[in-house]
Amino acid sequence: MNAKGVWVTTMKLGKTNPKIDRLSYDLKAKAIGSLVSLSALLACSAPETTVILPNRDASIGMTADALRQCAGSPRHETKKNGDVTVLSYYKEAPILQQSFSGARSSISRLSLHACWVTARVEQETVKEISYRSVPQTIDASMYCEAILEPCNRSR
């Protein structure tokens, strides 16, 4: 180290510059960290899966009256922009699937999981059907499919 407190590299064997050693260590640590992060990211990514929803697909193209006939009365019916109507259906999980074991007994929860079916009807024809799980962290599409199952059977 010189008088100003700066490390001076010497050509003698066995002596190294601490700044260079620290820089080399930092670069190695960053490279390893980047590789670990990339590996974790690639490990978590899964190929996109295609979900087949036959009851939903069979219900698209039906008349609004036919949908009401097979799926029942919607929970909500909203008119929008002239000829567009939105029909909303809701189905909760059966009561036995809504409870979990507690310390001494089974504790029932209110609507642990459910599904909303939203049908967009234009000019009295179902143009689009979407599903929304409640809560959104689970896939409750099987309950939505159950709402529309009679529609698939009637075709």
From CA 143, how far away is CA 93, in angstroms rounded? 7
Written as tens digits, the pLDDT of the chain (155 aa) is 566 666 555 555 556 666 666 656 666 767 676 766 766 666 666 566 677 889 999 999 999 999 999 999 999 999 988 889 999 999 988 765 554 555 555 555 554 788 999 999 999 999 999 999 988 888 888 889 999 999 887 66
Smallest Cα–Cα separation from 86: which of 53, 117, 55?
A: 117
Smallest Cα–Cα separation from 88: which of 29, 48, 56, 131?
A: 131
pTM: 0.59
Q: Which two tokens stand for residue 137?
A: 């962290």
| CA angle, 154 then 117 then 85, to 5° | 90
From CA 149, how far away is CA 67, in angstroms rounded? 11
Domain boundaries, the chain: 1-45, 54-99+110-153
Q: Which two tokens stand for residue 86?
A: 């939105």
Give the distance, in angstroms, between the CA of residue 81 and the centroid of all CA atoms in the same chain.
30
**Chosen CATH of 54-99+110-153 out of 3.30.2010, 3.30.1450, 1.10.760, 1.25.40:** 3.30.1450
What's phi and psi for 87, nearest 5 deg?
-105, 130
Smallest Cα–Cα separation from 144: which of 98, 78, 105, 89?
A: 89
